[in-house]
């Protein structure tokens, strides 16, 4: 599973069903001796650990791969690194890489590949866990209104989720600093000012302000961002009765969202993380079954 | 287990008993599928590896957590990191952190927590392994004289051990450069010049000179420290017949202790490391049983 | 197993036999609970991961050891680090270290040691996997002509392989920039110009140009190296019909070897990696059996 485009409606429904069964306590273990490795060329706690735990729950052998001490430092290409792991007997690799569509140079490898995030492109496993969290809440996607707030253009979460949500029948709205919405950004939704958007949506997805990336670009302070575009205590009060709050984390408390709202009744932020393990178990199982491995 | 103050006399006795059973070959495995993670925000070989091996011996699933590639680099708080691991299904976390009492911000998390060392504060698992080593030797604490030599003020080992030893009935003496013993340092013992102390004690605990931390403060050279305050070959000869030498390691050979004495007959330094695994197995078992997990 | 000199003809034959059985699908698991750790003080993907997978295939418990967060940073000696791991219950350590013959300071430790590469010295496990790959192809060593091309003087692969190949009855030739062949380098073989060597040999072993190490020394550009001493498309055409190409990797594509030849019919480069796991399983098994552990 490499791109959000790979996620057809049938595929999404099938993964959500399997993931929900894991959430309900279903356990499955690999019938074969399967070796997997997680190659994270960008920092991550949640996604990497989530995959790691999902893999152990399925009885897979997780072989550590430390980017900082790998031969990538000696200039080895991603293709040669992955071909090497394949030759050593790794059956599946999860890869996160800063380069958009890094997976295009890997089309000749034979092991199973799962995209753990590429540049500003795709993040399909985050999409599945986000859809799962929404589906647990509302039991449907059709007719739901989902608002995504932040740097939509540079966010692989935003891009992946908006595309999948539209496919499933939801209506997507965006908000955030207008200058972040250049021509061409708004493909899968409609821009709304934040104060209108919070009143309109059933699901409010906040994106992380990647202040370590923005540098010059972000000319407003974090406090100012919070007041102008963040989920303040006042804006939360304007939300619909049943509406929920989501965030892919890590959170900048007091920036995208008021500190007090992170663990409030509407928040599904830690629930998303919990669902992430089940969603990834489903994704791993399907990817390995496609390669002929069995579970019992 | 977070502070030495948590270690009541009954708790200590119970942990020593369980640890000694593990040392005698008793084996126990988790009856449940338990996931644990070791968060070491400060460098460590001994403590981290010791926990890792203790966890594997108990049949726990050890999920790696690499501080350098974690979202802590994106400014995530310790609380959010630990809540994340909890949401992902981690049942117990061991944490070492440079900040005194870091655990105070974690009082709302639900997973089991073990303190692997906080700033200049506590190091309760080191205390249990040190007490275990002393108890193996003398079969008691009451009436024993224990000397602790070095930078007592900044050492979490010294602080934790002195408090627990007094509680168990031992008498504690300190030595080292006098300027390291400001007012208020000597709470749990009495200062003695090093040449008097070595003749007096049953247990001589040497602390590591943390020369990478002291910088300016330490105005004497390492050679000079050895002559003035270290365990030289001559001072070792002045020790009582049955007295033993301990050190939490890593050792600066030729500074706190003469090179030749590190593996001498009196030394229990490597025995301490061996006991560390059994002590931590006992601590892990109790912490998990308190959360309702079972072993068999 | 520490040096290539430890590899007697009988030992080599026995390891090749066991390794080939693993390659044919034989599986063995440790009958005891065995703990192992891989200490890599130099970057590595292939060797470290290869050992890690071999260890898991044999049912060993692999305890992570991260050099960058270890007490080595506090100045601990290699001896004290290894003695510590031994005290903690590690039964076998694989060590790669930049210092020639680092293992000489470890002669008093009791755990099993395997040399994963020392400085410009030995790399005995690479030798076994290389011999295995040659033996799979030709069924013998006697009479075979093997060419090794590159910085033979500083390559532990070249040194280890040349010594072992001669011992097994093969004839060894060297090539590469003449200034890299000072007096004394050519102990186990004969120098031939590259265009003569490619026509002569059954096995062509290319060494990696360690351009990150050479700095000043290497006064020719990488393109120029390829033309003068690399395996170009033209030189490949001059090779004998059955001759094979080997490389310990990581490869500098377009330097030691033309990009198009890396996965060509003659290339055994990825086969070497695959064999590396089986060779290391055989080596681990023998080393542990020598310490009294059993497999079933």
Can you give the pLDDT of all 296 residues of chain B as single tens digits?
888 888 999 999 999 999 999 999 999 999 999 999 999 998 888 899 999 999 999 999 999 998 887 777 778 899 999 999 999 999 999 999 999 999 999 999 999 999 999 988 899 999 999 999 999 999 999 999 999 999 888 888 998 999 999 999 999 999 998 878 766 666 778 899 999 999 999 999 999 987 665 555 566 788 899 999 999 999 999 999 999 999 999 999 999 999 999 999 999 999 999 999 999 999 999 999 999 999 99
Q: What percent of chain C has pLDDT over 70?
A: 95
Best residue in B32, B74, B82 to probe A by mutation, most A CBs within 10 Å? B74
CA distance C56 to C33: 12
Mutate to test the interface with C, among B41, B49, B55, B280 (most CBs of C within 10 A): B49
Shortest Cα distance, chain B CAs vs residue C93, angstroms: 14
Would you call C87 and B44 a contact, using CB atoms and an 8 Å cutoff? no
In a mutational test of the C interface, the residue from A35, A38, A73, A80 whose CB has the highest number of chain C CBs within 10 Å is A80
Pairwise CB contact (< 8 Å): A250 & B74:
yes
Nearest by CB to residue A270, choosing from B70, B75, B87, is B87
**Which of C30, C87, C107, C109 to probe the B interface (max B CBs under 10 A)?**
C87
> Does this chain's domain A4-122+274-290 share its CATH topology with A124-267?
yes
CB pair distance less than 8 Å for A87 and C40: no
- CB B70 to CB A276 under 8 A? no
Residue B32: list chain A partners with CB under 8 A: none
The pLDDT, as a whole number, for residue A21 is 98
Residues of A with CB under 8 A from a CB of C: 33, 35, 37, 61, 63-66, 68-77, 80-81, 83-90
- Taking only the tens place, the pLDDT of each residue in C240-276 is 999 999 999 999 999 999 999 999 999 999 999 999 9
Domain B124-268, CATH class in plain words: alpha beta
Closest approach of chain B CAs to the CA of C218, in angstroms?
34
Binding-site residues from annotation of A for L-aspartate: 74, 156, 208
Interface residue ranges in chain B relative to chain C, Cβ cutoff 8 Å: 40, 43-46, 48-50, 52-53, 56-57, 64, 66-68, 212, 249-253, 270-271, 273-274, 276-277
Predicted pLDDT at A213: 59
**pLDDT attached to residue C185:** 62
C135 CB-contact burial (10 Å; exposed 0-12 / middle 13-18 / buried 19+): buried
Within 8 A of C75 by CB-CB distance, chain B residues are: 212, 250, 252
Whether A45 sits inside 8 A of B81 (CB atoms) is: yes
Pairwise CB contact (< 8 Å): A45 & B89: no
Q: Looking at per-residue confidence, does A152 or B165 come out higher?
A: B165
pLDDT at residue A217, as a whole number: 58
Chain C residues contacting A via beta carbons under 8 Å: 40, 43-46, 48-50, 52-53, 56-57, 64, 66-68, 212, 249-253, 270-271, 273-274, 276-277
Mean pLDDT of A138-155: 93
Residue A55 has pLDDT above 70, yes or no: yes
- Taking alpha carbons only, the member of A124, A152, A117 closest to residue A44 is A117
Helix (H, G, I), strand (E, B) or coil at B83: helix
C64–A64 CB contact, under 8 Å: yes
Q: What is the mean pLDDT of residues C227-235?
A: 97
For residue A216, pLDDT beyond 60: no
Amino acid B183: pLDDT: 61
pLDDT confidence of residue A139: 98
Distance from CA of C190 to the nearest CA of A (A): 30
Q: Which chains touch A (3 or more CB pairs under 8 A)?
A: B, C
- The CATH class that applies to domain C124-269 reads alpha beta
| pLDDT score for A67 | 84
| Residues contacting residue C217 through CB under 8 Å, at least 6 positions apart | none
Chosen CATH of A124-267 out of 3.30.2130.10, 3.40.50.1370, 3.40.50.10860, 3.40.50.300? 3.40.50.1370
The pLDDT value recorded for residue C212 is: 60
Domain boundaries, chain B: 4-122+274-290, 124-268
Structure confidence at residue C216 (pLDDT): 52
Specify the pairing of strand A203-206 against strand A145-149.
parallel
The rounded distance, in Å, linking the Cα atoms of C250 and C269 is 10
Q: pLDDT exceeding 90 applies to what percent of chain B? A: 79
Give the ranges where C123-173 is alpha helix by DSSP (H). Answer: 124-138, 156-167
Spatial distance between the Cα atoms of B258 and A194, rounded to a whole number of angstroms: 69
DSSP designation for A101:
T
The overall average pLDDT reported for chain A is: 93
In this model, does residue A184 exceed pLDDT 70? no
Residue A291 gets the label, from left (phi > 0), alpha (psi -120 to 50) or beta, of alpha
Nearest-Cα distance to chain C for B67, in Å, is 9
Q: Which residues of C touch B252 (CB under 8 A)?
A: 75
Type and span of the H or E element at B282: helix B269-290
ipTM confidence:
0.94
Residue C183 has a pLDDT of 61
Kindly determine whether residue B88 and residue A276, on different chains, have CB atoms separated by under 8 Å.
yes
Would you say residue C54 has pLDDT above 90?
Answer: yes
Structure tokens at B219: 């105005």
Supply the pLDDT for residue B153. 81
- Record: contact A270-B35, CB cut-off 8 A: no
Choose the closest CB to B70 out of A43, A68, A276. A43
Shortest Cα distance, chain B CAs vs residue A44, angstroms: 5
Measured from the Cβ of residue B234, the count of other Cβ atoms closer than 10 Å reads 10
Confidence band for C44, pLDDT divided at 50, 70 and 90: confident
The annotated binding site of A for carbamoyl phosphate is made up of: 46-47, 96, 123, 126, 249-250
Distance from CA of C215 to the nearest CA of B (A): 29
Nearest residue in A to C42, CA atom: A69
Least confident of A7-11, A75-79, B128-132, C124-128: A75-79
Give the CA diameter of chain B: 57
Please check the confidence at residue A196 and state whether its pLDDT lies above 90: yes
- pLDDT given at position B219: 65
Q: Do A69 and C44 touch (CB under 8 A)?
A: yes
Please, are residues A116 and A96 in contact by the beta-carbon 8 Å criterion? yes
Contact C88 B40 (CB under 8 A): no
State whether CATH 3.40.50.300 applies to domain A4-122+274-290: no
CB contacts < 8 A, A to C, total: 75
Structure tokens at A164: 């999948």
Residue A186 clears pLDDT 80, i.e. is over it: no
- Smallest Cβ–Cβ distance between A80 and the set C49, C64, C251 belongs to C251
Q: How many CB pairs under 8 A join B and C?
A: 74
Per-residue burial over C94-130, b if 16 or more Cβ lie within 10 Å, else e, is bbbbeeeebbeebeeeebbbbbbbbebbbbbbbbbbb
pLDDT of residue B64: 94
Contacts of A80 in chain C (CB under 8 A): 249-251, 253
φ/ψ region of C171 (left if φ > 0, alpha if ψ in -120 to 50, else beta) reads beta
Residue B44's pLDDT is what?
Answer: 84
| Predicted local confidence at residue C120, as pLDDT | 85
Indicate if the pLDDT at residue A6 is higher than 70: yes
């Amino acid at each position: 599973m490499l791109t959000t485009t790979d996620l057809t409606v049938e595929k999404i429904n099938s993964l959500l069903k399997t993931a929900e069964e894991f959430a309900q306590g279903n356990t499955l273990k690999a019938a074969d001796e399967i070796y997997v490795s997680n190659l994270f060329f960008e920092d991550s706690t949640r996604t990497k650990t989530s995959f790691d735990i999902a893999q152990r729950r399925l009885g897979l052998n997780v072989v550590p791969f430390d980017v900082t001490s790998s031969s990538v430092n000696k200039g080895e290409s991603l293709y040669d690194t992955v071909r090497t792991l394949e030759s050593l007997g790794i059956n599946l690799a999860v890869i996160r890489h800063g380069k958009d569509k890094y997976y295009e140079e890997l089309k000749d490898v034979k092991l199973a590949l799962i995209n753990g995030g590429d540049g500003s492109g795709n993040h399909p496993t985050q999409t599945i866990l986000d859809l799962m969290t929404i589906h647990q809440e509302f039991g449907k996607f059709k007719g739901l209104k989902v608002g995504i707030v932040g740097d939509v253009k540079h966010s692989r979460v935003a891009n992946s989720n908006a595309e999948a949500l539209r496919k499933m029948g939801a209506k997507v709205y965006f908000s955030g600093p207008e200058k972040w919405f250049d021509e061409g950004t708004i493909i899968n939704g409609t821009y709304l000012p934040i104060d209108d958007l919070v009143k309109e949506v059933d699901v409010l997805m906040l994106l992380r302000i990647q202040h370590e990336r923005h540098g010059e670009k972000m000319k407003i302070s974090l406090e100012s961002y919070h007041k102008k575009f963040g989920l303040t205590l006042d804006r939360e009060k304007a939300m619909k009765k049943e509406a929920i709050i989501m965030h892919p984390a890590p959170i900048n408390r007091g920036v995208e969202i008021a500190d007090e709202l992170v663990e409030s009744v509407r928040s599904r932020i830690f629930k998303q993380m919990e669902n992430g393990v089940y969603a990834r178990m489903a994704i791993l199982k399907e990817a390995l079954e496609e390669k002929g491995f069995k579970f019992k």
